[in-house]
Amino acid sequence: MAEAGAGFLEQLKSCIVWSWTYLWTVWFFLVLFLVYILRVPLRINDNLSTVNEGVSPPKHVQYP
């Protein structure tokens, strides 16, 4: 019985080491996912800034 428990612990340790080895792929895909999700708000922000740069007050309005 003790050998089965030890074998399970060794298998669990092996799985943890394997998961840490490939953790960089998780981070890579997470960054790609965040860039994909945030691309729309970033484009909206750029579009609003270019629209606001082109808007000027009407010429016929006299300011005090």
Q: Say if 20 falls within a structural domain.
A: yes
Q: Say if 45 falls within a structural domain.
A: no
Q: Say if 55 falls within a structural domain.
A: no
pLDDT, tens digit only, all 64 positions of the chain: 556 677 888 998 888 888 877 888 888 999 999 988 887 777 766 766 776 666 666 666 666 6
Distance CA 61, CA 49 (A): 24
Q: What is the pTM of this model?
A: 0.40
Count of structural domains, the chain: 1
